Amino acid sequence: MAALRTLQATCRPLACSATVMPPPAATQRTQARGMYGGSCPPGGRVPFTGFFVTPPAVVPCFREGEDKIPVDNFSIDCSPYKPAPDAVPPHELVERMEAKFKEMGVVRLTNTGLSKVEDMKRYANIVVKEQMRYEGGANPREGIIANVYEVGAPHDAWLHYHHEMAYNRHSMKNLAFCSVKAPWGKGDTYLSENVSVTEELMKTDLGRKLKDKGVCYIRCLTDREAYKGQGWKHGQPVYNHWQLSFGVESPDEAVEKAHECGLETEWCVDPLMKDSKRYLKTKLRADAFEYCPSIGQNVLFSSIADHNTWFDTWQGVKEVPPEKRPLQMTFGDGSPISLEELRQWVSLYDRSGIRVRWQTGDVVAFCNYRFAHGRPAFELRQWEERTIGVMLGEKFQRIGARPEAW
């Protein structure tokens, strides 16, 4: 099983969005010293060596203070059960997993002693019972085994909190992560407890704007043939090719798959490669919220992970002018989201953050409605590896918020 490529964190200046103006120079210098000093202070702030001359305008910290929910509350120590490859999970463990997942929307298995993703998948399937294929996805994920995918993102980029595949007309009810290789203290996943995020958001003008206007997602997918199969791993200014996103080879098939995802489509000239006219632009106007059946209420189902600031630390794409980046996001009426609103949005998720530390063999399954997920950037030494297998749960068609469920 091939491990994910080892990437080194970089410390080059990053561009800011055309609608997101950088803070004053004095503030930039303070942020650069405070945020990128090479350590990871309480709250899980992004660890980098050195500093940025011009830091990103929107900086997540992923957790403010203590965990919103103590990790032990949803963890199960598997050492008494002695999980073994090819063994049937013990009935008592199955019952505990199902009960905890039903109550909290998340369950974590630790001290499993497992090392192969196919064995971890067997335990994750206890609560993630049905799985969907990764079609129409944003990240360029490669398969590890059937229905288990790589993270599909560089180590040295932070991944803002997000709900998986919120940018399509369909998403998934739940998902699971399986820790195949995990250096201690690096690449930890963060969950954000979304019910409290939603409650706090709806007290603000931003929440009311999102409720009234919704959001518009614009994704631009490059042509694999124009880039000779290369992507961000090769230093190209590429996020994802439409061939990989939709699992097809022809433009007609790509359009058909995009329409199945509820997306509007337009073929354009690639702004970074003028000879390429097979640059697929997709658009979706959607509710910023989604009704969660398991708790009977509406929850936030959008984040700035689909804004061009997603690429502020993304290898190969961060140097691209914000207006030419592959992801763009506005309110549903096309009006821009201000810098202040972007920061407020990120801060609300951060306040409900939970740090989940990885060790090899851990499995975490969680509800895609009730929890957002993300992670800070991290560095790996030459001898270190991190591989997380991603399992996508049961597919559902988005309906947005219900009027009676606020």
Predicted local distance difference test score (pLDDT) of residue 355? 98
Neighbour count for residue 277 (Cβ, 10 Å): 12
371, β-bridge pairs: 193
Residue 236's pLDDT band, with cuts at 50, 70 and 90, is confident
Residue type, 371: F
Residues 6+ apart with CB under 8 A from 30: none
Query: In this model, does residue 81 exceed pLDDT 70?
Result: yes
Query: In this model, does residue 194 exceed pLDDT 80?
Result: yes
Distance between CA atoms of residues 219 and 257, nearest Å: 14
Dmax (CA) of the chain: 61
The mean predicted confidence, pLDDT, of the chain is 84
Distance between CA atoms of residues 366 and 49, nearest Å: 32
Average pLDDT over residues 167-188: 93
Convert the pLDDT of each residue in 248-260 to its tens digit. 999 999 999 999 9
φ, ψ dihedrals at 355, nearest 5°: -90, 125
Task: Give me 285's structure tokens.
Answer: 């106007």
Convert the pLDDT of each residue in 308-335 to its tens digit. 999 998 888 888 999 999 999 999 999 9
Query: In this model, does residue 48 exceed pLDDT 80?
Result: no
Residues 6+ apart with CB under 8 A from 351: 64, 68, 196, 197, 200
From 247, 307, 306, 255, select the one nearest 278 (Cα to Cα): 255
DSSP category for residue 264: E
